[in-house]
Structure 1
Amino acid sequence: MESANFTLGEGHTPLIKSRRIGPDAGLAHLYFKLETVNPTGSYKDRFAAAALTDMLHQGKKRVVTCSSGNAGSALAAYCAAAGMTCQVAVFIGAPENKLKQMLAYGATVWRIEGFGADPEISGKVFKYLKHLGAAPDTELQVSSYQFNPIGMAGVEFIGRELVEQISAEQGAVDHLFCCAGGGGLLLAVYRGFQTAFHEAKIERLPAFHCVQPTGNNTIAGPLQEGCDRAQTCQSTTKIGGLQVASVLDGNEVIAACRETGGSGYLVEDDFVYEVQALLARQEGIFCEPAAAVSLAGVLQAAAAGKIQSEETVVCVITGSGFKDQGSIDRMLADTACPVISLSEFIEQTA
């Protein structure tokens, strides 16, 4: 019998223990939740599956969305499979490969100047998108609880899966680090753990830590400073996917982190690129820069003595490295793959 849920096989992603980075940082139990293996290469497939399941039940035919990349790609793919129209307004800093991925699935895509970087322009774009989404056959799909709690409920399964995976390995998670743009991912994982707690599957929640690029300080800085509210900013980070100048789920993220004893961490773009390369070359995990942000926060916390060596730490690795060509080029700037003769090959490998 066909499932009532619309799916492309997302979810149930692996949890991998760090072999080198964790031990080198003095962390014996560092784990990576690999959302890179979802159908379009990011955790946003979980959102798209839940959102389109709901739309199909309502008989709606058109998705309107805004995206810094991964949500647009996920919705474009799931719309293609469902026979729906997908229209995407893209943040100005979205990586080219993500735009191509959306277009490959047949979406209509617009890049809007200032969108995602300037809070005033972003607010006006969101207002117009709400107008478009009000059409009878249409749904505005934005991966934020503020706009779509039904879709975000699909992301909560990351937390529920982690409970099962860690209990089999380590017993409980002590610290959970998530990157944040608008904050929806961290809030969803937190709510997944909350569900497990209410079902008596765990005795306590991990400390949740929000990690952001310094150039998109909407949540992590206010959290560090003891504030209860997130703030808008002029986004200057080059980390694709985390250029969200507006406050979306930020206030709720601050509350969740504070309730669980977590904190906020700000990391520089250059350090994020270093960590992205470190994951590839020491763990065999090829992720986009945004996905390396959580580990950058872990390493910052470990260096400051904020994590004990025997505590269990989880990083959510959000998306595949193949989504961001610019970061690949940066990583490989000092390497080359020249064409050589057979004799040169033999000489170099003898």
Structure 2
Amino acid sequence: MQNDSIKRYVGKTPLIRAKNLEEYLGISKIYIKMEGNNPSGFLEDRLAYLMIRDALDKGRDTICMGIPGRIMVSVAFISKYFDIDCVFYVPKNSKLPKKSVFKECENVEIIEYGKNSNDSVERSNEVALEKDWYNGNVGQENNLLYNYTYSYLAKELSSQQDEKIDTVFCQTGQGSSISGLYWGFKQLWIDEELKKVPKLYACSTAEGNSIVESFNQGSRELMLTKPKPNSKTKYNSEFIKKAKYNAQEALNAIYETQGGAVGIDDKELLPAKRKLQELERIKLTAANALPIATFMKLAEQGKITDGVHIIVLKDGKVDLDVTKVTRDTLPVPYDKFVELLHTWLTEYTDPVFEINEALEKAFKDGHVLCAYQHGKLVGISVIIKTGFEAFFPRFHLGYIATKKDIKGRGIGTQILQKAVEVTDGHLSLHVDTKNRNAVKLYEKIGFKRKYFRMIYEGIDKQ
């Protein structure tokens, strides 16, 4: 049976402001979309969730595919939450990423076939057709879902950013990311929610990607390019000579938005990854550092000015641990803990005796959550049990606060997601109607406005 809890975690990834990177490059404002905070650690979780839903809606009980890579990991991971099986064909002796994920999934079968991915894809296409299984390979019955994945991402970025977005940087191989982002932003423009579609930048390898080569040649028609001799490396092989499916649409989108397509070589890729980790302490793999390398390259060339810039990292992740604590396991003495919560709540705080009362109640039969980043306390949540089963949600979020000097790091989002998890979604909260940022955050997580809270304070006698 479907486990609805996975819906709370796919997508809804943090958009953090990279202030140290801004200072280093002398450019503001730079935001980074942390897609590594998806359940399995990849942006592909978004697509996997849609594929599984699509398969079940079509009455299929098995997904078949032959592309050994991140999408296979994501499909395996997300499939655990649904009544669906997976049959994956992979080349003989191929190395699968995150092997532990496959070992944990009893519903997944791995079959070795052929010498390369072309062989395994072809075989999986044949088997899917013979057995009437859902074909999860690129360009098959799910082709539109690839576009929609990024189309929805565009809408999410817009909802997370109050200011006009000037540029979006995203890596691409076959073009799905750029074409999907374009149609997402274009739909917002059609609906008059955006005044202008942001400039889109396709970030790829400098060693023979068709979209990059076509743009560099000034061609509006996609050019089929040949890889340079001995140019493939463990970082760029995914992006070389990709000219299928949505490549022409992506090239059209780049010209339409007056963006660009930039090729990066390994000598530029690795230093950019290290610099981002040094400045912002963001975890990511080198192969997925193309967008940050592209942004830094253009910034250093003086081709980017102040504005609102978004860099999408497919596996970029904030190192944050959210855990439940008791009064005996508080990270600081109790009085200091109360003081921190009181301070971090800023103008939305309550008298200290009320905070004390809420904490005592939460320690007794509710939850107190602490968020740690690099071992330091950076966020607190206090959840109180209401005593009701049906009349009112079983738990109420009394307080949520983050350290003042690290706002915009996605910490509040992850604390809220943990709060929803520990209460199994039986959670209510109160919010000041003037606190627009908080309202926006709560609605993004899944909270809905139900009614105004009114407290009797007596009759105002004129």
For the structure 1 residues 133 and 230, does the alpha-carbon distance in structure 2 shift closer, same or farther, using more than 3 Å as the test? farther
Q: 8 Å contact 2:67–2:120 — kept in the other structure?
A: no
Residue type matched to 2:164 in 1?
A: A
1:158 aligns with 2:153: yes
- Cα-Cα RMSD: 3.0
CA distance in 2, matches of 1:271, 1:25: 16
Q: 8 Å contact 1:218–1:232 — kept in the other structure?
A: yes
Q: Residue deviations 1:102-147, cap 9 Å, x none?
A: 44435315475443xxxxxx3x654444323324541111355885
**1:293 positional shift:** 0.6
**1:99 positional shift:** 4.5
Residue type matched to 1:185 in 2?
A: S
**1:67 positional shift:** 3.1
**1:297 positional shift:** 0.6
1:47 aligns with 2:47: yes
User: Could you list the runs of 5+ residues in structure 2 that have no partner in the other structure?
Assistant: 319-462
Q: Residue deviations 1:37-84, cap 9 Å, x none?
A: 001111111111111111111110111224352111111112232232
For the structure 1 residues 70 and 240, does the alpha-carbon distance in structure 2 shift closer, same or farther, using more than 3 Å as the test? farther
Which residue is 2:253 aligned to?
Answer: 256
Worse-matched range after superposition: 126-135 or 191-200 = 126-135
For the structure 1 residues 161 and 236, does the alpha-carbon distance in structure 2 shift closer, same or farther, using more than 3 Å as the test? same
Equivalent position SS for 1:212: strand
Q: 8 Å contact 1:181–1:216 — kept in the other structure?
A: no
**1:223 positional shift:** 1.5
CA distance in 1, matches of 2:247, 2:92: 21
Equivalent position SS for 2:98: helix
Q: 8 Å contact 1:69–1:90 — kept in the other structure?
A: no
CA distance in 2, matches of 1:285, 1:175: 21
Equivalent position SS for 1:162: helix
CA distance in 2, matches of 1:39, 1:98: 13
CA distance in 1, matches of 2:67, 2:249: 21
Which residue is 2:74 aligned to?
Answer: 74
Equivalent position SS for 2:284: coil
**1:321 positional shift:** 7.4
Which residue is 2:311 aligned to?
Answer: 315
**1:7 positional shift:** 3.4
Q: Residue deviations 1:6-45, cap 9 Å, x none?
A: 8362011111111222321122111101111001111111
CA distance in 1, matches of 2:198, 2:19: 22
CA distance in 2, matches of 1:216, 1:261: 22
Q: 8 Å contact 1:66–1:142 — kept in the other structure?
A: yes
Residue type matched to 1:164 in 2?
A: S
- Residue among 165, 176, 191 paired with 1:173: 165
**1:148 positional shift:** 2.0
Work out which structure has the larger RCO, using CA pairs closer than 8 Å and 6 or more positions apart in sequence: 1
1:140 aligns with 2:135: yes
Superposition map of 1:1-350 within 5 A: 7=7, 9-67=9-67, 69-90=69-90, 96-106=96-106, 107=108, 108=110, 110=112, 113-115=115-117, 122=118, 126-143=121-138, 147-150=142-145, 152-167=147-162, 171-227=163-219, 228-231=221-224, 233-234=226-227, 236-239=232-235, 242-243=238-239, 245-248=241-244, 249-308=246-305, 310-320=306-316
Residue type matched to 1:30 in 2?
A: I
Worse-matched range after superposition: 95-104 or 26-35 = 95-104
Q: 8 Å contact 1:32–1:314 — kept in the other structure?
A: yes
The TM-score normalised by the length of structure 2 is: 0.61
CA distance in 2, matches of 1:98, 1:83: 22
User: Could you list the runs of 5+ residues in structure 1 that have no partner in the other structure?
Assistant: 116-121, 323-350
Q: Which runs of 4+ in 1 moved over 6 A?
A: 2-6, 91-95
Residue type matched to 2:158 in 1?
A: V
Q: 8 Å contact 1:68–1:241 — kept in the other structure?
A: no
Residue type matched to 1:57 in 2?
A: D
Equivalent position SS for 1:215: coil
Residue type matched to 2:159 in 1?
A: E
For the structure 1 residues 94 and 281, does the alpha-carbon distance in structure 2 shift closer, same or farther, using more than 3 Å as the test? farther
Aligned residues: 310
Residue type matched to 2:310 in 1?
A: V
Equivalent position SS for 1:7: helix
CA distance in 1, matches of 2:242, 2:206: 15
Worse-matched range after superposition: 286-295 or 270-279 = 270-279
Percent identity, aligned pairs only, is 20
CA distance in 1, matches of 2:62, 2:192: 40
CA distance in 1, matches of 2:278, 2:211: 30
For the structure 1 residues 97 and 226, does the alpha-carbon distance in structure 2 shift closer, same or farther, using more than 3 Å as the test? same
Q: 8 Å contact 2:88–2:111 — kept in the other structure?
A: yes
Q: 8 Å contact 1:33–1:316 — kept in the other structure?
A: yes
Residue type matched to 1:286 in 2?
A: K
For the structure 1 residues 185 and 151, does the alpha-carbon distance in structure 2 shift closer, same or farther, using more than 3 Å as the test? closer
Larger of the two Rg values belongs to structure = 2
Q: 8 Å contact 1:144–1:184 — kept in the other structure?
A: no
Residue type matched to 1:226 in 2?
A: G
